């Protein structure tokens, strides 16, 4: 072959090598550019979030420490003993003052919701009265000087049969059952010192 033919062969080989380079290397790299840019954007976002979280970490630790101190203070304000006699006397007094009839009262173990150093005691009450007196009784329970929760409130009408008087028909007796849970602090912070702001 002459010089011209070799030049043509070299040009064709160069074109083929260029096409192979483009399709096997350049094109795949160009196709990966959007994917790599998305990955860069994601990593940049995560980096910014991490830096923001790092800046907020001291404040978060202070908040956690403050909430833990408030929680411990609240637990220390719970009475160190059940003082169940005072609670029962207070319930009986509230029933008399509200005008409800306290039919039964029983005690059982309660759920302390997994709070260490706290014992829960359930008091199951059954009362009966018209609604206005019942409403006053429930409001008075909220004002008791003892941290407690009310659950399992069930209401049913009583005295609504054919023998009910006209007054009972317009303002019927309501039979009510509820559970009042009182809490006692059993932690070590109570030992050896009085708790001056504690609830009775």
Q: Which residues contact 98 (CB under 8 A, 6 or more apart)?
A: 129, 133, 134, 136, 137, 140
Q: What is the pLDDT of residue 185?
A: 84
pTM of the entire structure?
Answer: 0.54
- The per-residue pLDDT for 197 is 39
Domain layout of the chain by residue ranges: 1-77, 84-187
Element (H, E) at 188: none
The predicted pLDDT at position 194 comes to 40
Cα angle 167, 171, 177 (rounded to 5 degrees) comes to 130
Within 8 A by CB and 6+ apart from 80, the residues are 184, 185, 186, 190, 195, 198
Tokens representing 51 are: 């830096």
Alpha-helix residue ranges (DSSP H) falling in the chain: 3-21, 27-77, 84-98, 131-142, 166-170
Contact between 116 and 187 under an 8 Å Cβ cutoff? The reply is: yes
Give the pair of three-digit tokens for residue 90: 């207070």
The C-alpha atoms of residue 9 and residue 108 are separated, in whole angstroms, by: 101
**What does the alpha-carbon distance between residue 190 and residue 71 come to, in Å, rounded to a whole number?**
15
Q: Provide the residue-wise pLDDT of the chain in tens; the chain has 200 residues.
A: 667 777 777 888 888 888 888 778 787 888 888 888 889 999 999 999 999 988 889 999 999 999 989 888 888 778 877 778 888 888 888 899 999 998 988 888 777 677 777 888 889 999 999 999 999 998 888 888 788 888 888 888 875 555 556 656 677 889 999 998 888 888 754 433 344 333 43
pLDDT of amino acid 196: 38
CB-based contact 195:78 (threshold 8 Å): no
Q: What is the CATH number of domain 84-187?
A: 3.30.70.60
When computed from its CA atoms, the radius of gyration of the chain, rounded to whole angstroms, is 38
């Amino acid at each position: 072959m002459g010089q011209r033919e070799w030049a043509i062969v070299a040009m064709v080989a160069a074109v083929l090598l260029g096409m192979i380079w483009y399709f096997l290397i350049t094109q795949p790299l160009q196709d990966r550019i959007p994917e790599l840019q998305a990955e860069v954007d994601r990593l940049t976002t995560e980096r910014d979030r991490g830096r923001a979280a790092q800046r907020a970490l001291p404040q978060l630790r202070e908040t956690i420490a403050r909430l833990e101190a408030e929680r411990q203070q609240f637990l220390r304000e719970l009475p160190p003993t059940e003082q169940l006699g005072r609670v029962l006397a207070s319930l009986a007094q509230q029933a008399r003052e509200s005008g409800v009839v306290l039919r039964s009262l029983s005690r059982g173990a309660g759920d302390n919701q997994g709070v260490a150093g706290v014992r829960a005691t359930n008091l199951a009450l059954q009362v009966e009265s018209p609604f206005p007196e019942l409403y006053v009784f429930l409001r008075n329970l909220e004002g008791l000087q003892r941290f407690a929760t009310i659950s399992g409130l069930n209401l049913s009408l009583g005295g609504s049969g054919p023998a009910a008087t006209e007054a009972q028909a317009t303002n019927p007796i309501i039979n009510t059952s509820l559970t009042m849970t009182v809490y006692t602090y059993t932690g070590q912070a109570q030992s050896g010192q009085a708790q001056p702001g504690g609830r009775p």
